[in-house]
Amino acid sequence: MSSNHMPTVLIVGAGLGGLSLGALLEKSNIPYVIFERAALVKPLGSAMSIGSTLLPIFQQMGIYDEIVATGKYVTHIHSHRESLEPYRPLDYRAVEEYTGYGQYIIARPDYYNIMLKQVPAHKVHFGHRVLNITEEDDKVTVHLSNNQTYKGDIIVGADGAHSAVRQHMYEQLKAKGLLPKEDRKDLPFSSTCLVGQTKVLDPKEFPIV
């Protein structure tokens, strides 16, 4: 690749990671295209905590005000065990004093929609499933289920736990005898997370709040 050549980035997956990367590349005027196997992505999940590690980036992207207005400002997070015993209280005030950035809770669907707006529609291809990935010299090509192919310089796997890009990498490493032992194991599921939301509760009826 010549020093003045602007690389084209192929992003597989239009979830939070893929869209966030696309938004950053869009801001930087770096060519890219996003492929998503689903015809329509339903942004699931409950909420995300966003603070001093991400907010400066959102400022550079020009979406800081929208993120802050959409999220809910928090100074503390109180966690409790099943027995209602307090567990790992978090106090964000010192971080805000040190960095100048507060902590916000934002619904994942809201964050997803903000990021989706940062990426031009013609650069996100929904219903495009990647079947194969081939490499030649310093180029990479994705082969899609609709018989289309796209060529680029860099490919990014943002397609979740069962990533097609990761599997392609694993196949190459396995053929060379370089695949780590841990990566040959099935994906472990060692915990269950149940998350819910509630309206404002009356402290007289619910003293824990």
For residue 162, tell me if it sits in a domain. Answer: yes
Determine the pLDDT at residue 43: 67
For residue 29, tell me if it sits in a domain. Answer: yes
Determine the pLDDT at residue 5: 77
Residue 188 banded pLDDT, cuts 50, 70, 90: confident
Tokens of 150: 């796209």
For residue 163, tell me if it sits in a domain. Answer: yes
Mean pLDDT is highest, among 23-27, 105-109, 182-186, for 23-27
Q: pLDDT > 90: what percent of the chain?
A: 61
Q: pLDDT tens digit string along 145-170?
A: 999 999 999 999 999 888 889 888 88
Q: What is the CATH number of the domain that holds 116?
A: 3.50.50.60
Determine the pLDDT at residue 78: 85
For residue 83, tell me if it sits in a domain. Answer: yes
Higher pLDDT, residue 201 or 26: 26
Q: How many distinct structural domains can be found in the chain?
A: 1
For residue 72, tell me if it sits in a domain. Answer: yes
Pairing of strands 139-144, 130-136: antiparallel
For residue 118, tell me if it sits in a domain. Answer: yes
For residue 200, tell me if it sits in a domain. Answer: no
Grouping H, G, I as helix, E, B as strand and the rest as coil, residue 175 is helix
Q: DSSP alpha helices (H): ranges in the chain?
A: 16-27, 55-61, 64-70, 93-99, 108-118, 164-175
For residue 13, tell me if it sits in a domain. Answer: yes
**Judging by beta carbons within 10 Å of its beta carbon (0-12, 13-18, 19+), is residue 184 exposed, middle or buried?**
exposed
Separation CA 13–CA 119 (nearest Å): 13
Domain holding 142, by residue range, is 9-183
pLDDT at 2 over 70: no
